């Protein structure tokens, strides 16, 4: 990550590269005109015979040869000023970040201003967020990185007179830390991020003022979390149920719970996955990553909310002790489940985690997030996550938070018909519902354990990772983990 420092609004103090904006038809923003005046009209001159029109997401890097302290300008096209959205600023930040990287720029100064209907604070925060997202790298496991491949960008100066924006910058850095934590956790292979890694990470989060409880096999056996444990039965590591409480709100405010699927590797168990699908299953803890990322961010931002983060950490492996298809296991809640497919393991982990937290803490609502079904990828692809809910208000709030932060959700149906598909011949429930409506029956399975508690389930199987198998690279042009859900959860919980 890069540092962020403040600069008082004085263009004579700007150095290195100045970032500023233009609209369609080469129309410079107010600040861009001022910058241009400071650098001998280098911007206007460079646009004269250029195809750069200032359209949406266009960018132009301009070398300056005047004797100003500014040696280059990065002009970012904002397109039609009346059509700007929060997401457009984020996308401009992403494109600016890519260009700064390509040009090998180390420091840059963003001159903040009001753009469209967005004030300085809103516009700049979203822009810087995009910049930060695009500059993420995952290099821990490379020993042969050439200097040319190493990230250069070190420092962003924010030139602003806006006191509100100043106040928000530390919170913004805290949010990136959370998002990048989520991305790192998901990108790391499963021989690094295993269930014990999550247990240790949770304990380290105590330093942020989070109250942490980690329950291992012994306690979970005593508690009767038979579904969660059945998934980890074939592994030498785990399972754990991790509970993290952030008490930033008023004493009388009830907790909201966020629950993440933390299957650190999903072989499918005896219902084994085909080889080409399996390697991607190091990312089957993307939900847990989002929960860790959100908790990190909330605590570091000192958010005035009461939130419990819950993670079920297990590894779905095969061995002599692993669960067999058709085994019957008993849940924390008391319901028995026939495990007809050991690859439908996420719902087992979540069901115990959800009913445990409802029973112990009586949260006002539960939001779970999970790479739960391949079927959601068939339905929605790699841009939208699916959201299921028994509560219209929560669903609406989640959908609008997703739209704001550029992590869009599409509401999917809940219906008694899906519950009927989960009938078992021998137990209270089967863990699979047949070939059709795979994401909906998975959600219905979870709903059996939620009952009346206001609840939403976010299926991020299609959006947690970008890359070969998933088709398109993600919005910042990289492949790998997106950290999807961390920003969404923070925005939702803080709104
Ligand atoms: N972890 C997978 C879901 C998944 C698939 C995530 C592809 C990311 C990419 C989950 O545990 C799973 O295997 N679900 C099965 C359920 C089926 C057996 C009912 C699936 O979707 O195929
Ligand atoms: Zn599975
Ligand atoms: Zn899984």
Q: Answer yes or no: are the C-beta atoms of 261 and 371 closer than 8 Å.
A: yes
Q: Over the range 415-448, which residues count as b (16 or more CB within 10 Å of their CB) and which as e?
A: eeebbebbebeebbbbbbbeeebbbbbbbbbbbb
Q: Which H or E run includes 466?
A: strand 465-466
Handedness of CA 259, 285, 459, 272 (dihedral sign): negative
Superfamily of domain 174-494: Zn peptidases (3.40.630.10)
Q: Is the Cβ–Cβ distance between 445 and 227 less than 8 Å? A: no
CA of 268 to the centre of ligand 2 (A): 5
CA gap 296, 128 in Å, rounded: 19
Residues lying with their CB under 5 A of ligand 2, a single-atom ion: 266, 343, 345
For ligand 1, atom 16, which residue shows the shortest CA distance? 344
Question: What CA–CA distances, in Å, run from 275 to 231, 289, 406?
Answer: 20, 24, 32
* Atom 7 in ligand 1: residue holding the nearest Cα: 374
Cα first-last separation, the chain: 26
Query: Where exactly are the structural domains of the chain?
Result: 3-163, 174-494
**Which of 287, 343, 463 has most ligand 1 atoms within 8 Å of CB, for mutation?**
343
Q: CA 212, CA 438: separation in Å to the nearest integer?
A: 34
- Report helix, strand and coil shares of the chain as percent, to nearest 5: 40, 20, 40
- For residue 126, give the nearest of 86, 177, 160, 159 by alpha carbon: 86
Helix (H) or strand (E) holding 200: helix 195-204
Supply the pLDDT for residue 474.
63
pLDDT, position 468: 56
pLDDT at 238: 80
> Which entry of 137, 152, 203, 273 is annotated as an active-site residue?
273
Give the mutation target among 186, 374, 430 for probing the ligand 1 site: most ligand atoms within 8 A of CB.
374
Is residue 315 within a helix (H) or strand (E), and if so which, with residue range?
strand 306-316
Q: At what angle do helices 86-102 and 120-134 cross, to 10 degrees?
A: 50
Asked if residues 329 and 225 have their Cβ atoms less than 8 Å apart, the reply is no
Pairing of strands 59-63, 70-77: antiparallel
CATH code of the region 3-163: 3.40.220.10
486 sits in which H/E element: helix 486-494
Q: How many angstroms does the Cα of residue 341 sit away from the middle of ligand 1? A: 10
CA distance 95 to 108: 14
The Å distance, Cα 131 to ligand 3 centre, comes to 32
Active site residue 273: yes
3-163 and 174-494: identical CATH topology: no
Give the phi and the psi of residue 384 in degrees, each rounded to 5: -100, 140
Cβ neighbours, 10 Å, residue 82: 8
Q: Over its length of 495 residues, how does the chain's per-residue pLDDT go in tens digits?
A: 899 999 999 999 887 899 999 999 999 999 999 999 999 999 999 999 899 999 988 999 999 987 888 999 999 999 999 999 999 999 999 999 999 999 999 999 999 999 999 999 999 999 999 999 989 989 999 999 888 778 899 999 999 999 999 999 999 999 999 999 999 999 999 999 999 999 999 999 999 999 999 999 999 999 999 999 999 999 999 899 999 999 999 999 999 999 999 999 999 999 999 998 898 999 999 999 999 999 999 999 999 999 999 999 999 999 999 999 999 999 999 999 999 999 999 999 999 999 999 999 999 999 999 999 999 999 999 889 999 999 999 999 999 999 999 999 999 999 999 999 999 999 999 999 999 999 999 999 999 999 899 999 999 999 999 865 555 556 556 679 999 999 999 999 999
Q: What is the DSSP letter of 274?
A: P
204 is catalytic: no
Longest dimension (CA), the chain: 82
What's the pLDDT score for residue 80? 96
């Amino acid at each position: 990550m890069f540092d962020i420092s403040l600069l008082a609004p004085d263009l004579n103090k700007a150095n290195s590269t100045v970032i500023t904006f233009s609209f369609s038809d080469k129309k410079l923003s107010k600040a861009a005109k001022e910058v241009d005046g400071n650098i001998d009209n280098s911007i206007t001159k460079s646009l004269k015979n250029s195809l750069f029109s200032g359209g949406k997401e266009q960018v132009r890097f301009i070398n300056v040869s005047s004797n100003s302290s500014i040696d280059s300008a990065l002009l970012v096209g904002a397109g039609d000023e009346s059509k700007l959205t929060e997401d457009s600023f984020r996308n401009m930040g992403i494109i600016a970040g890519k260009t700064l990287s390509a040009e090998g720029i180390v420091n840059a100064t963003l001159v903040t201003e009001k753009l469209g209907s967005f004030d300085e604070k809103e516009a700049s925060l979203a822009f810087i967020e995009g910049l930060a997202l695009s500059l993420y790298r995952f290099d821990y496991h490379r020993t042969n990185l050439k200097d040319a491949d190493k990230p250069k960008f070190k420092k962003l100066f924010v030139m602003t007179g806006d006191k509100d924006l100043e106040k928000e910058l530390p919170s913004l850095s805290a949010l990136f830390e959370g998002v990048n934590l989520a991305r790192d956790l998901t990108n790391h292979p499963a021989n690094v991020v295993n269930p014990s890694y999550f247990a240790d990470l949770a304990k380290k989060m105590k330093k942020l003022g989070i109250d942490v409880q980690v329950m291992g096999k012994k306690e979970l056996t005593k508690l009767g979390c038979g579904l969660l444990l059945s998934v980890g039965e074939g592994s030498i590591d785990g399972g754990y149920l991790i509970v993290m409480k952030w008490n930033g709100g008023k004493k009388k405010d009830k907790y909201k719970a966020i629950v993440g699927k933390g299957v650190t590797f999903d072989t499918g168990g005896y219902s084994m996955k085909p080889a080409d699908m399996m390697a991607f299953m190091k990312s089957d803890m993307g939900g847990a990553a989002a929960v860790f990322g959100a908790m990190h961010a909330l605590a570091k931002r000192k958010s005035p909310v009461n939130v419990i983060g819950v993670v079920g950490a297990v590894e779905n492996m095969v061995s002599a002790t692993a669960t067999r298809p058709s085994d019957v296991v008993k849940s924390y809640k008391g319901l028995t489940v026939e495990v007809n497919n050991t690859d439908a393991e996420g719902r087992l982990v979540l069901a115990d985690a959800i009913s445990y937290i409802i029973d112990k803490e009586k949260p006002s609502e539960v939001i779970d997030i999970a790479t739960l079904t391949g079927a959601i990828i068939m339905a929605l692809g790699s841009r939208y996550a699916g959201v299921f809910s028994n509560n219209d208000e929560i669903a609406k709030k989640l959908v609008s938070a997703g739209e704001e932060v550029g992590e869009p959700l599409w509401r999917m149906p809940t219906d008694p018909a899906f519950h009927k598909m989960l009938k078992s011949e021998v137990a209270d429930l089967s863990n699979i519902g047949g070939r059709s409506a795979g994401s909906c029956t998975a959600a219905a399975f979870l709903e059996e354990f939620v009952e009346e508690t206001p609840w939403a389930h976010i299926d991020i199987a299609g959006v947690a990772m970008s890359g070969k198998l998933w088709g398109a690279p993600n919005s910042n042009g990289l492949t790998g983990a997106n950290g999807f859900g961390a920003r969404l959860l923070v925005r939702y919980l803080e709104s």
